[in-house]
Amino acid sequence: MKYSLQRNMLLWTMLCFVFGSVALTARPWIALFGSADCDQCAKVKAEWLEDGWSEDEAVLVYISIDQEENYLLLKDIEKSLGYTGQFNSFPIALQGSRMAAGGEGFWELADELAEPDARVAALLTGLQTAVDKAEDPYITWNAPVAAEQEATSVKGTQETLAIAPRLLYLSSPGCQKCARQEVELHLLKQKLPGLQVDHYEVTTEEGQVMMRRVTDHFGIDAEDRNLAPLVAWADGYVTGGLATAERLAEALAATPANAAAFWDAPVTEADLQDQRRANHSLLDSMRLTTILLAGLADGVNPCAFATVIFLVSYLLYLKRGRRFVLVAGLLFCIGVFASYLLFGIGLSFIVDYLNRFVIVKRIFYWAFALVGLILAILHLRDALRYRRSGNAADMEMGLNAQTHRKIHDKIHRWAELTGWLALPATVLLGVVVSAMEFACTGQLYLPIIIAINSAGFNLRAMIFLLLYNLFFILPLLAVTVLAYFGIGAKSLAAFARAHVFATKALMALLFLLLAIVMAWLAIGAARYNLLIVKY
């Protein structure tokens, strides 16, 4: 009997040890709360699947906030861990008792895994079981039942409102903070069936008019342009951060009964005209002379200037008449103008699209601020080298010898054509040559395009683009006219060589100014990270 008892005790001890070991070795996991239209969420999932994975490593648990019960679960977790209102964009990661937003925040949590917090485990019923059964490094999981810990402060608010509640919501395309804000507004509308939300996008003229009404009504600094997402009501607003359903319900309940929606007046044509005049903060701050000076400096760029000198000199060498030289030079300038304008329009559309994404916009601006600073240094170095040696070959910021030869070969072939039928081909020659020169002249053109389109690509930006390109070809036009009046290529080349240092120094100064503008734009875009609350 004693032996049997000892054997049973030993057996129970072994079983407890085995099951205890299983419990202690429960597979770790990291949760990722995201939505279907979240680019960062998709990037995190793709990078997770690309990494090598073994069964003893953590499992990525994706929980879609597009389902209401999952979003309410996220809010309950944030509340239980003390993170309420801290994260206003997706993805949001959860690991142990820690939470973080964004792709970088996710990987910081993934580097140091911990056991789930007891407060979190109580809310995630069945998750650990699903993780332990997972055969892949990534699973999708949903809250098994609708979360019961709903925003109780929202309940019963409808009865306390003397008038039908109204909100003004201003958003920006591609804004991740806006994505979560819209979920909160959806929850609020469920609790307040009479709620009316007037929604405008700040990229539209109507949205910009509404934004100006908000800034005027509350006295918000006119320089704080990047305020989306913004939620406003009769006597208060929340911008730059998450306006939760609970917070908005409390604000609406405290709104005086006689408070009217200050934005209710219809948007008239006069409002739109005023907005068009006041719009585009950068285009207002960047003086017209800056744009024109940049185009002129780009036009006297040695690599652009040398090409038209070669064209004119070759035409004169072939004994073509002065009128032919004048017409050919003008057509060549038209080809250059048309090609550069088309380049600018295409790049403007790309820049305008990328500017919709706040993170991409900031990276874009900071990158070109750095590029502008580097190019300023390099052009200044070229200027000093040329001043010291007088040899253009010592300069590095220009076309290489191989590209120069290709351009000259194309001019040779065209110039050997006979008759006036050769003139239409000159336009095409200008297009081809400008495309080959773009590696040199585009150094200034690209930052200018980004600066011009910082407030969107529209009629005013198009006018600035036209003026820039017009001043870009002015030196080419001047050379053509001088050739018509008998100024030889040697005199033009001597003039160009005499002003290489000044041209390079001017280019360096312009790049430095553009670097400052880009940094200023990047800092302005960072205002999205500020939270402003007033009610």
Three-state SS annotation for 266-320: CCCHHHHHHHHHHCCHHHHHCCHHHHHHHHHHHHCCHHHHHHHHHHHHHHHHCCC
Query: Which residues, 6+ apart, have CB-to-CB distance to 176 below 8 Å?
Result: 38, 40, 89, 90, 358, 359
Torsion of Cα atoms, 496 then 498 then 504 then 505, to 10°:
-140
* Domain endpoint, select from 89, 119, 140: 140
For residue 275, the model assigns a pLDDT of: 75
* Number of domain units in the chain: 3
Strands 532-534 and 236-239: antiparallel
Q: Is residue 92 part of a domain?
A: yes
**Chosen domain end from 87, 116, 140:** 140
Task: Give yes or no: residues 99 and 50 share one domain.
Answer: yes
Calculate ∠ Cα 478-482-486, nearest 5°: 170
Instruction: Please tell me whether residues 522 and 427 are part of one structural domain.
Output: yes
What is the distance, to the nearest Å, from the Cα of residue 295 to the centroid of all Cα atoms in its chain?
25
The pLDDT of residue 301: 65
Backbone angles phi, psi at 419, to 5 degrees: 80, 170
Question: Would you say 151 and 75 are in contact if contact means Cβ atoms under 8 Å apart?
Answer: yes
CATH number at residue 251: 3.40.30.10
The pTM of this model reads: 0.51
Q: Are residues 68 and 169 in the same domain?
A: no
Query: In this structure, is residue 38 part of a structural domain?
Result: yes
Last residue of a domain, one of 140, 161, 185: 140
- The CA-CA-CA angle for residues 329, 330, 335, to 5°, reads 95
pLDDT by residue for the chain (535 residues), tens only, comes to: 444 444 444 444 444 444 444 344 578 899 999 988 787 888 888 888 877 666 668 899 999 998 889 999 999 999 999 887 678 888 999 998 999 988 888 888 888 888 888 888 889 988 999 998 888 888 999 987 654 444 444 444 444 444 568 999 998 876 777 888 889 999 999 889 889 999 998 878 888 899 989 988 988 865 555 678 899 999 899 987 788 999 899 999 888 877 788 998 888 888 887 776 665 544 455 557 777 877 887 777 666 666 666 666 666 666 667 777 788 778 888 888 888 888 888 888 887 777 666 666 677 778 877 877 887 788 788 778 777 776 655 565 554 556 556 665 666 666 565 555 666 777 777 777 777 666 666 666 777 787 777 666 777 788 888 988 898 888 888 877 877 776 655 565 566 566 667 767 777 777 777 777 677 766 655 443 444 444 4
Indicate if 163 and 227 belong to the same structural domain: yes
**Measuring CA to CA, how many Å separate 526 from each of 244, 285, 361, 431, 530?**
22, 19, 10, 39, 8
306 and 451 together in one domain: yes
Domain assignment present for residue 147? The answer is no
Residues 306 and 395 sit within 8 Å (Cβ to Cβ): no
Residues 238 and 292 in one domain: no
Q: Which two tokens stand for residue 61?
A: 């648990």
Same domain, 39 and 64: yes
**Residue 307 within a domain:** yes
Residue-range definition of the domain harbouring residue 161? 152-279
Residues 361 and 354: beta-carbon distance below 8 Å: yes
| Residue 9 covered by a domain | no
Please tell me whether residues 30 and 173 are part of one structural domain. Answer: no
State which amino acid sits at residue 219. Answer: G
Q: Residue 263: its pLDDT value, please? A: 93
Q: Is the dihedral of CA 10, 15, 18, 20 positive or negative?
A: negative
State the pLDDT at residue 76: 92
Other CB atoms within a 10 A radius of the CB of residue 114 amount to 11
Same domain, residue pair 248 and 136: no
Residues 264, 207, single domain; the answer is yes
Establish if 2 belongs to a structural domain: no
- How confident is the model at residue 146, as a pLDDT? 53
First to last CA, the chain: 78
CA-to-CA dists, residue 381 to 22, 299, 375, 417, 442, angstroms: 67, 20, 10, 41, 19
Q: Is residue 459 part of a domain?
A: yes
The edge-to-edge listing of strands for the beta sheet with 230-233 is 196-201, 166-171, 230-233, 236-239, 532-534
Same domain? 364 vs 469: yes
Q: Identity (one letter) of the amino acid at 86?
A: Q
Same domain for 382 and 517, yes or no, is yes
Helices 302-317 and 500-525: crossing angle in degrees, nearest 10, is 140
Q: Is position 201 within any domain?
A: yes
